[in-house]
Amino acid sequence: MTKKPMTITQKIFALHANKDYVAPNELIEAKIDIALANDITGPIAIDEFRKTGAKAVFDKSGVVLVPDHFTPNKDIKSAIQAKILREFIFEQDLTHKFDVGTMGIEHALLPEKGIVTAGDLIIGADSHTCTYGALGAFSTGVGSTDLGCAMAAGDTWFKVPESIKVVFEGEMPKYLTAKDLILHLIGDIGVDGALYKALEFTGSAIRKMSMDQRLTLCNMAIEAGAKNGIIEPDEITKEYLKNRSIREPKFLYSDEDAPYEKVLVYDVSKIPLTVAYPHLPENTHSVEEAIKENIKIDQVVIGSCTNGRLEDLKMAAEIFKGKKVHPRVRAIAFPATQDIILKAIELGYYQTLIEANVAISTPTCGPCLGGHCGILADDEVCVSTTNRNFVGRMGHTSSKIYLASPYVAAASAIMGRIASPEEI
């Protein structure tokens, strides 16, 4: 009997559902490898876990709780949230114990520590769990109730998503990054253009892309409404996972005749440096357009689970070298993990940023969700390397957020307006 062709997303589901084949839109029950939550979603999930009557989680190494959103704690309420996580971690003797000083922004921390790997099925009570698709895994965000039940059972229900293949071909011009590619795609198809679909990224530009960049690309799949973003594993994936993964990776690939709802093809040489204007990630414009509008800014944020990795700090340091932040602008960098901080110090990025008058934070989600360490006042304008620019996302409802790459963010901090790195 001839096997039916499947995409990589279908194959991961089939593996975890113990089936030879799963079809797009099929409802299945599948085992999970990792259940993830943070200090906002974790306490709710823990409460739901207790309601199941379970005494122990399904796997001590498979439940990962990372206090990153409001840590170091900004007030009493956030301190209580973190305390609930901390107490549950030690009560259950979870393998992975992260806290201030050892933790990082969850979606940078888990790949770095090898907790997620190729072929995994991962759910997280955070929408940007889709980041791990860069490793050749299926990962998606779920609600805290679903997560709490999965923490007990070790499995959950899924509808297998249809797949959209996104092909990025060509050579990346100088200063063009994965952030520009994903913003361009969202601008093209809209914030619901891939609703409950798997976005499978491929093409010659992807095959040459570093893992840091791939993680950025998959991180924002949810901003197009996608269930997951995913990239087939290759030599770059295998090198990244080598001596890192705490479990054996499972390298899966889409069949040549795998079913796709549609195929989108882009020539990266024709994609401009891109900025998403308020108040949706789909409201994209070229940086050149923004320069003509002379958009003055008050703050720049470089970091988050989207662009807080070492390569992002390198980009920023390249632009800030020998320059100063505009006197009217506050610039804040949020390295995503402690390891990234150590490497950035060793490579001189910290000195460059500090000499440019950039404030550097301990790892935290901080202002990305309007948490702390950079909240916007009324009518203030921010250029941010984060992933969302909704009304009031970073503070006052009259504030405005423009999403951009680290290159564009750094250039804008220097110029005091949205700017291109080519101007520096």
DSSP class of 395? B
Give the SS3 label for residue 116. Answer: coil
> Which alpha helices (H) appear in 242-309, and where do they start and end?
287-293, 304-307
Which pLDDT does position 3 carry in this prediction?
Answer: 81
3-class SS letters over 304-361: HHHHCCHHHHHHHHHHHCCCCCCCCCEEEEECCCHHHHHHHHHCCHHHHHHHCCCEEC
pLDDT along the chain (424 residues), means of 10: 86 97 97 97 97 96 96 94 97 96 96 97 97 98 96 97 98 97 97 95 97 98 97 97 95 96 97 97 96 98 97 98 97 97 98 98 92 94 96 95 98 98 93
DSSP class of 154? S
Tokens read off for 327: 């006197």
CATH topology of domain 274-423: Aconitase; domain 3 (3.30.499)
Distance, CA of 300 to CA of 289 (rounded, Å): 19
413 touches 384 (CB < 8 A): no
Distance, CA of 38 to CA of 63 (rounded, Å): 11
Distance, CA of 198 to CA of 298 (rounded, Å): 37
320 touches 329 (CB < 8 A): no
Which pLDDT does position 2 carry in this prediction?
Answer: 58
Question: Which residues lie below 8 Å from residue 231, measured CB to CB, with a gap of 6+?
Answer: 133, 134, 136, 200, 201, 202, 206, 214, 217, 218, 237
Examine domains 9-265 and 274-423 and report if their fold is the same.
yes
**DSSP line for 369-380:** GT-SSS-B-TT-
Please return the burial class of 152, using the count of CB atoms within 10 Å of its CB with bins 0-12, 13-18 and 19+: buried
> Which alpha helices (H) appear in 4-59, and where do they start and end?
8-17, 42-51
Give the SS3 label for residue 301. Answer: strand
Distance, CA of 116 to CA of 95 (rounded, Å): 14
Which pLDDT does position 1 carry in this prediction?
Answer: 47
145 touches 55 (CB < 8 A): no
Please return the burial class of 18, using the count of CB atoms within 10 Å of its CB with bins 0-12, 13-18 and 19+: exposed
For 192, half-sphere exposure in the C-beta direction (CA atoms, 13 angstrom radius) is 0
Distance, CA of 323 to CA of 340 (rounded, Å): 23
Which CATH number is associated with domain 9-265? 3.30.499.10
In what helix (H) or strand (E) does residue 407 lie, and over which residues does it extend?
helix 406-415
For 164, half-sphere exposure in the C-beta direction (CA atoms, 13 angstrom radius) is 22
Q: Where are the domains of the chain?
A: 9-265, 274-423
Extended beta strands in 76-226, E state: 121-124, 138-141, 155-159, 162-169, 197-202
pTM of the model: 0.95
Distance, CA of 274 to CA of 289 (rounded, Å): 9
DSSP class of 160? P
Q: Which residues of 102-133 are buried (b: 16+ CB within 10 A; e: fewer)?
A: ebbbbbbbbbbbbbbbbbbbbbbbbebbbbbb
Which pLDDT does position 25 carry in this prediction?
Answer: 96
Question: Which residues lie below 8 Å from residue 165, measured CB to CB, with a gap of 6+?
Answer: 200, 202, 260, 262, 263, 264
- Strand partners for 303: 334
Q: 344 φ, ψ to 5°?
A: -65, -35
317 touches 352 (CB < 8 A): yes
Distance, CA of 35 to CA of 95 (rounded, Å): 13
